[in-house]
Amino acid sequence: MGNTFGHLFRITTFGESHGGGVGVVIDGCPPRLAITPEEIQAELDRRRPGQSKITTPRKESDRCEILSGVFQGQTLGTPIAIMVRNQDTRPQDYDDMVQKYRPSHADATYDAKYGIRNYQGGGRSSARETIGRVAAGAIAKKILHQVAGVEIVGYVQRIQDLEAVVDPATVTLEQVESNIVRCPDGAMADRMVALVEQIRDEGDSIGGVVECVARGVPKGLGSPVFDKLEADLAKGIMSLPASKGFEVGSGFGGTRLKGSEHNDEFYVDAQGEIRTRTNRSGGTQGGISNGENIIIRAAFKPTATIRKEQRTVTQGGEETLLAAKGRHDPCVLPRAVPMVEAMVALVLCDHLLRHHGQCQLF
């Protein structure tokens, strides 16, 4: 249970970090959408390990294989299966974790729930599971852009105390991809890289915040009460590994304002469209998109697996020490950017299809 996400645009991910491979089955993709493996691969390359000096040195090409649902470069409307095979596995790195629980990892909770766990790389709790999400997100992005002109751009907004100055309305993918930390503020990016390298050399890890903007989202996406757009965005973001917080619009900062300061006043623009003068709501009101930019932020904790020695216990409850081996990101933020974009795309695509099915008959 818990491996499927979405309603009309529905994905199911599968596989473990050190198993034969990982992937996704996508159900509900409309037919006749032109898609190539290269388009999916471009997104996977942004997520893959070993891409820079500040990410895990695990060497995986993460080459995607489309197993079904696409014929002669177009989707068939049938389930799309995408597979990525694991290559650079080192299960011996996890021999010390057969009995020892890694602090702040999923080891103890998986044992408590299932009575069995894959200790090699964390199994399903590994961020390697997100390969399927990013692959599906590439298709969702194309649907959103082709049908509604939606553009989704994520970027590192903060690492520890280093905070970038970025305008969500104008930030571009090219600016984000111009450096290895995926921060469009060039001067701050250099400081972020230096900080991550320092923390990595200490055998430790740090966290931060990814901000993501969706521009061109049509009005009317989302449903009242339990299927509010921001509620589904929150669920999608909080399902990502290492995520610990979600904000939309003004977020927690908005709690410091009065209503007269926080409210987004309406006006009619030159094209006769009803707009808001400000966007503290973050593109949704009453759980439904209002046509403004959707702006969300995702907080990621420091990577749980570190090389520093820590106190822990064994499965039998005996106290012990653990200095983890393996290859891990000292900071998940740079590789989390395409993951956040993917989850935003999956939610918006699902709601776009639901909206057309419910509200566009007459």
Mean pLDDT of 267-295: 97
* Per-chain mean pLDDT for the chain: 93
Per-residue pLDDT, 326: 62
Question: pLDDT tier at 271 (50, 70, 90 boundaries)?
Answer: very high
Residue 361 has pLDDT above 80, yes or no: no
Per-residue pLDDT, 59: 72
Measure Cα distances from 189 to 157, 160, 163 in Å.
10, 13, 9
Q: Which residues contact 37 (CB under 8 A, 6 or more apart)?
A: 64, 65, 66
The pTM for the full model equals 0.95
Question: pLDDT tier at 97 (50, 70, 90 boundaries)?
Answer: confident
SS3 279: coil
Q: What torsion do the CA atoms of 211, 47, 105, 305 make, to the nearest 10 degrees?
A: -100
Per-residue pLDDT, 121: 74
Per-residue pLDDT, 27: 97
Mean pLDDT of 270-290: 96
What CATH architecture is 4-359?
A: 4-Layer Sandwich (3.60)
pLDDT digits (tens, 9 = 90+) for 121-175: 778 888 899 999 999 999 999 999 999 999 999 999 999 999 999 999 999 999 9
All structural domains of the chain with their residue ranges: 4-359
